[in-house]
Amino acid sequence: MSQAAAIDQQRVTDTQNAEAWRDPWSLPLESLDPARAILFKENVHEEYFRRLRQEDPVHYTAESEFGAYWSITKYNDIVAVDSNHKIFSSHKNIVVGDAPDEFYSPMFIAQDPPIHDVQRRAAQPAVAPTQLADLEALIRQRVCSILDDLPVGVEFNWVDRVSIELTTQMLATLFDFPFEDRHLLPYWSDVATATPSTGRSDVTFEERNKVLQECLNYFGQLWHQRKNEPRKFDFISLLAHDPETKDMLDNPMEFLGNLILLIVGGNDTTRNSISGGVIQLSRAPEQWEKLKANPALVPNMVSEIIRYQTPLAHMRRTALEDIEFQGKQIKKGDRVVMWYISGNRDEEVIDEADKFKVDRENARRHVSFGFGIHRCMGNRVAEMQLRILWEEILNRFERIEVVGEPERVLSNFVLGYTRLPVVLHAK
């Protein structure tokens, strides 16, 4: 072989090796590292988890960019870990990568009892059903005005015009945030989540800190204002008035952490469920027909959308003691990652789990909202937002056609889309 030919041959082998990660079945089992963000962006993660569920459901990855970690991939094992907060702690990190200590901002999702309990209790009245019933008319009115403004028969990006806009308006309502400044909320959320600890390193920790300082200042002003007014049911007013949290502003990092939690918790998750539903229905036209024939399926479909999308791919815990789990020795201090996206495809619990079915039986049976004491606090708002949206879509459009490949987010945590080109067809 000539030297040039040898180099060419080497190039081909390199490319093949470089592409091997796309097919987990071609790799040695022990080398599988399902936390690489690229897997989710390129949509090849599902096969990784299928293999792990079959061959090594509690899997140890010894080396990764985030350090060593365990992967829990079966539905019932996820429920077991998520329910056992005494051994599997949420303190201080709930994603696979550790945030550097100098940027540590405590938040109740990343705390154990008792701190978790008192802070969650202070915030949760904002999203209780009685409160939501009062918000329903307003949310519906906003959904209608967003949908009525959309162009028909012309391509546009559903993510920007619907998913982001609607979620932003919902969040602004829950914070009673100045409506004209509402776009700051998804901006702060994006900066807060674009960290190397989830494989999304487009923002440095330093830049992140600067932007979040602005967020802190803005909310600090709202806090002072709300504190001097009677208690209302928005997040800020509730925290400012609750005896357990009324001094939170004295610990700015903790105030910031909890703000980020309440912004991020509702933002990417709801946004990507809104986009995900459009994609799922466009891929399964017979499901769309079924839905049109029976709009009463909307609430059931909403649960199915949230299962199928699994807007948060994982939550991470840290073992507080050595424990034997499904025959594996988990050691004190180990990272334990519960892959919700995998649990939601577990055929042992969910029949035909790879299929999206608007009339699925037991559609609420999924782990997208987690389990145990940290189970999502905002699930009812999210479900209401999606229900209203789909009711109003059915009132208006014959079909939402997806006209190009959706672009997916680079993250092992947030499963979602940056671009979803669609064309609407009027009724």
Partner 1 sequence: MPKVTFIEFDGTAHEVDVPAGGSVMEAAVSNNVPGIDADCGGACACATCHVFVNEAWMDKVGERGDMEQSMLDFAENVRSTSRLSCQIVLTDELDGLVVDMPEAQH
Among ligand HEM, partner 1, none, partner that 125 touches (CB below 5 to 8 angstroms by kind): partner 1
Radius of gyration over every alpha carbon of the chain, rounded to an integer in angstroms: 22
125 touches partner 1 (CB under 8 A): yes
Residue among 316, 360, 374, 387 that touches ligand HEM (CB under 6 A): 374
Nearest-10 Cα torsion for 372, 366, 50, 39: -80
Residues pairing with 324 in the sheet: 329
Span 80-119, contacts to partner 1 by CB under 8 A: 82-83, 85, 117
If binding means CB under 6 A, how many residues of this protein chain bind ligand HEM? 29
Closest distance of CB 109 from ligand HEM, Å: 4
Is 158 or 390 the residue whose CB approaches partner 1 more closely? 390
Euclidean distance between CA atoms 366 and 275, whole angstroms = 19
Residue type for position 42:
E
Considering only the stretches 38-46, 203-211, 368-376, 394-402, report the one whose residues sit in contact with ligand HEM under the rule CB under 6 A. 368-376
241 touches partner 1 (CB under 8 A): no
Closest distance of CB 64 from partner 1, Å: 29
Considering only the stretches 7-15, 201-209, 247-255, 376-384, report the one whose residues sit in contact with ligand HEM under the rule CB under 6 A. 376-384
Euclidean distance between CA atoms 243 and 285, whole angstroms = 52
Span 362-381, contacts to partner 1 by CB under 8 A: 364, 369, 371-375, 377, 380
Strands lying side by side in the sheet with 397-402:
156-157, 421-426, 397-402
What is the dihedral sign for C-alpha 306, 310, 316, 319?
A: positive
Euclidean distance between CA atoms 358 and 60, whole angstroms = 35
Euclidean distance between CA atoms 239 and 277, whole angstroms = 33
What is the number of alpha carbons within 13 Å of residue 60 lying toward its C-beta? 10
Contact 298, 220 (CB under 8 A): no
Residue among 121, 246, 292, 419 that touches partner 1 (CB under 8 A): 121
Contact 124, 377 (CB under 8 A): yes
DSSP 69: E
Span 150-179, contacts to ligand HEM by CB under 6 A: 174
Closest distance of CB 177 from partner 1, Å: 22
Is 147 or 166 the residue whose CB approaches ligand HEM more closely? 166
Considering only the stretches 57-65, 131-139, 280-288, 304-312, report the one whose residues sit in contact with ligand HEM under the rule CB under 6 A. 304-312
Is 245 or 269 the residue whose CB approaches ligand HEM more closely? 269
Closest distance of CB 281 from ligand HEM, Å: 16
b/e sequence 139-153, b meaning 16+ C-beta within 10 Å: bbebbeebbeebeee
Euclidean distance between CA atoms 419 and 170, whole angstroms = 21
Closest distance of CB 351 from ligand HEM, Å: 21
Is 390 or 417 the residue whose CB approaches partner 1 more closely? 390
- Closest CA relative to residue 392, chosen from 220, 149, 179: 149
Contact 164, 267 (CB under 8 A): no
Span 20-79, contacts to partner 1 by CB under 8 A: 79
Chain positions contacting ligand HEM, by CB under 6 A:
82, 108-109, 120, 127, 174, 261-262, 265-266, 269-270, 273, 306, 311-312, 315, 368-372, 374-378, 381-382
Chain positions contacting partner 1, by CB under 8 A:
79, 82-83, 85, 117, 121, 124-125, 128-131, 364, 369, 371-375, 377, 380
